[in-house]
Amino acid sequence: MTDRDPYLWLEDIESEAALAWVAERNAETAAELAGGTGFAALKRSLREVLDASDRIPYTVRRGAFLYDFWQDAEHVHGLWRRTTLEQYRKDDPEWDVLIDVDALVAAEGEPWVWAGARVRYPDYDRALVCLSRDGADAVAVREFDLVTRTFVEGGFQVPEARTRIGWIDADTVFIGTDFGPGSLSDSGYPRTVRRWRRGTPLEEAALVFEGGAGDVSVGGWHDNTPGFERDFIARSLDFHRSETFLLAPDASLVRIDVPDDASAHVHREHLIVTLKSDWLGHRAGSLLVFGFDAFLAGDRTAQVLFTPDARTALAGYAWTRHHLILETMHDVSTRMDVLTPTSDGPWARAPLTDVPALSAAAIVDTDPDVSDEYFLDVSGFLQPSTLHRGQIGADTEILKQAPARFDAAGLAVRQFFATSRDGTQVPYFVVGPGGATDGPGPALLYGYGGFEVSLTPYYSSVTGRAWTARGGTYVLANIRGGSEYGPDWHRAALGADRPRAFEDFAAVAEDLVARGITTPPMLGAMGGSNGGLLMGAMLTRYPQSFGAIVAEVPLLDMLRFHRLLAGSSWTAEYGNPDDEADRPHLRELSPYHRLTAGRPYPPVLLMTSTRDDRVHPGHARKAAARLRELGHPVLLHEDAGGGHTGAGDNERTAHNRALVYTFLWQHLAPAVPPVSG
């Protein structure tokens, strides 16, 4: 290992020298991967499913309308639109287009990417529209009139920044943004909450709350539930700890006194608390409910809505008007229940719906102020999405069903458990040939392993067309660092214990080989962001286990990550390089610093974006430069836009996915014929 870093100049994102170097690497990658007819055919095939007109348009309800954002071949940047439920039930609904982002891009000459809108309650006549420049996390905010279909001249408008904004009433918003020196945290997020009134200059917005420079961020929001109108302030101390306050009418703050690693959510008269550590005799991972007013008065009498066990964890919940829909995972497969408050005694419980084995279900939307309506999406690796609409206590209807996008004949989904180095059983899903085969074949192992992110079954048209339908096996690893088995599963790989996630992933790789599913030369590994750190660990710790590795928007320099863009917000996950107690284990974790000339590495493809303002593109750039210096096979592709997602439109997404899968096929199964067409 070495702390010498001759490639710091590549951290200068838009310097002439750095961009020239990136252009050379992109040209090499294009020559290696994008020149053949097979690449063009694969890209066309992927673009076809991304642009397909019969995709499910997922919506959110705002009053009488269902809102959707849609991109296809004719609308590259997309349409923000709405329709009624009556129309939505039709195969070809009539959509009312509110904003044509392509027209906006053409008119203003800016590469705008849609970043969402906050529609004003209860009239739903105005919206705070967020636009990202080429996919960055930073957004420009503009007020939009849904009646006239125009941006409001003199309305709420905020220049490009990492802004948090939300309606209080027709003429007032809570806002946190870049107000100049001292207004942002060390992580680059707002550290102040201000109340901004219509018609007044932004810089005169009244200060409501100020957090510390070392906090990740702060935010404020207005609860407009009729009869329960309240204001709240949240302070993120780090990525896993926060404080929530009720903002009283006299501007005083009343702390909602739960553990700072718990989450607190207020809905009508209820306070819902999700525990990440033991508290008041309740286990970490439990879901508790209190009477909100009683809690503020000091009553800590809770009803327990969920208690985890060794194989079952909380995945989420959603309110309807009278019920709470509870989502749990049992060995990473979804279960859905309905909980109903009672006037006296435990909440009633009943199943919401049956979810097929080895599948996933998710609540897409509810309307908690008005009705018990819910929209539920159910899918699996080989099961295209089905969107259901229901009213709790009544029959459900199938609103939309996505068609199959790839040939799944002969494919099956199985779940296995690998034994990690410390004896922990690590689940993983295998999607591939379901019957007898002629022997092991090419396989792609995907993982993440951090920040409490759970990886669950899902239907991917892109992976299906590019990989499994062509004979590849796809594997999803549920390694520690995620939340598949609750807080303990995450905590087991925090900080200096991060290698447990690496060991879990390596154990899955070994188990795949032991089961005869693949061999090391035919096994690829892929991950992005924190999963890119995982890929760096596989490259430097277990290179003999893989035939190729893809790291997307990766985190690789663990001694400087906290100084790059949003990196300082992740010290609670990894440790702080400036802390002498943490620096040794971070240096040991850092793939960039573990790179050496003395060990053969599998070929590596690094994917990043110049406009990624979350994980700095310098991570991928510097690793590519160091690998080249050491004589190892490496390709780098840096998209000029796209932000942390790596692509801002379907054309670029198809191109980038085609690069990835072309690279994998070249190295894991070069004899497989390319996609025709």
Digit-coded pLDDT (tens) for 91-107: 999 999 999 999 999 99
- Lowest average pLDDT, out of 176-190, 197-211, 434-448, goes to 434-448
| Residue 338 burial (CB count, 10 A) | 21
Catalytic residue, from 75, 619, 644, 655: name it.
Answer: 644
Rounded to whole angstroms, the Cα distance separating 264 from 260 reads 9
Rounded to whole angstroms, the Cα distance separating 276 from 239 reads 13
- Tens of pLDDT, residue by residue over 324-345, are 999 999 999 999 999 999 988 8
Confidence check: pLDDT of 436 > 60 = no
> What is the per-residue pLDDT for 645?
83
Please say whether the beta carbons of 256 and 245 come within 8 A.
yes
> What is the per-residue pLDDT for 670?
79
Q: At what angle do helices 16-33 and 650-668 cross, to 10 degrees?
A: 60
- Tens of pLDDT, residue by residue over 346-402, are 999 999 988 888 988 999 999 999 999 999 999 999 999 999 999 999 989 999 999
Look at strands 303-306 and 312-319 and give their pairing.
Answer: unpaired
> What is the per-residue pLDDT for 1?
47
CATH 3.40.50.10190 fits 8-48+413-668, yes or no: no
**DSSP letter for each residue of 260-310:** TTSEEEEETTEEEEE-SS-BTTB-TT-EEEEEHHHHHTT----EEEE--BT
- Tens of pLDDT, residue by residue over 61-87, are 999 999 999 999 999 999 999 999 999
> What is the per-residue pLDDT for 434?
79
How many CA atoms, within 13 angstroms, populate the side-chain half-sphere of residue 227? 5
Please provide residue 255's backbone torsions phi and psi, each rounded to the nearest 5 degrees. Answer: -65, 130
Mean predicted lDDT score pLDDT of the chain: 96
High-pLDDT (> 70) share of the chain, % = 98
High-pLDDT (> 90) share of the chain, % = 93
Peptide bond into 122 cis (omega under 30): yes
> What is the per-residue pLDDT for 437?
58
Confidence check: pLDDT of 18 > 80 = yes
> What is the per-residue pLDDT for 37?
83
- Tens of pLDDT, residue by residue over 604-616, are 999 999 999 999 9
- Tens of pLDDT, residue by residue over 105-139, are 999 999 999 999 999 999 999 999 999 999 999 99
- Tens of pLDDT, residue by residue over 253-304, are 999 999 999 999 999 999 999 999 999 999 999 999 999 999 999 999 999 9
Confidence check: pLDDT of 438 > 90 = no
Which distant-in-sequence residues (6+ apart) come within 8 Å of 523 by Cβ?
442, 443, 444, 445, 509, 512, 513, 545, 546, 547, 668
> What is the per-residue pLDDT for 245?
98
For the beta sheet containing 396-401, the strands, ordered from the edge strand earlier in sequence to the opposite edge, are 359-366, 373-380, 383-391, 396-401
- Tens of pLDDT, residue by residue over 614-627, are 999 999 999 999 99
Long-range CB contacts for residues 340-347, cutoff 8 Å, separation at least 24: 341/270, 341/289, 346/303, 347/289, 347/303, 347/305
- Tens of pLDDT, residue by residue over 22-47, are 999 999 999 999 998 899 999 999 99
Confidence check: pLDDT of 677 > 60 = no
Asked if 644 is an active-site residue, the reply is yes
Confidence check: pLDDT of 2 > 70 = no
Please say whether the beta carbons of 477 and 455 come within 8 A.
yes
The first and second tokens of residue 418, run together, are 């690998």
Rounded to whole angstroms, the Cα distance separating 262 from 216 reads 16
Confidence check: pLDDT of 517 > 50 = yes
How many CA atoms, within 13 angstroms, populate the side-chain half-sphere of residue 635? 23
| Residue 70 burial (CB count, 10 A) | 16
> What is the per-residue pLDDT for 646?
72
Q: What is the mean pLDDT of residues 411-427?
A: 98
Confidence check: pLDDT of 550 > 70 = yes
Asked if 562 is an active-site residue, the reply is no
> What is the per-residue pLDDT for 30?
98
**DSSP letter for each residue of 328-354:** EEETTEEEEEEEE--SSSSPEEEEEE-
Strand partners, 389: 375, 397
Q: What is the mean pLDDT of residues 417-426?
A: 98
Please say whether the beta carbons of 46 and 39 come within 8 A.
no
Catalytic residue, from 529, 568, 590, 609: name it.
Answer: 529
Q: What is the mean pLDDT of residues 649-672?
A: 93
Confidence check: pLDDT of 4 > 80 = no
Confidence check: pLDDT of 573 > 50 = yes
Q: What is the mean pLDDT of residues 192-199?
A: 98
Confidence check: pLDDT of 676 > 80 = no
- Tens of pLDDT, residue by residue over 142-178, are 999 999 999 999 999 999 999 999 999 999 999 999 9
> What is the per-residue pLDDT for 672?
72
> What is the per-residue pLDDT for 354?
84
Confidence check: pLDDT of 642 > 90 = no
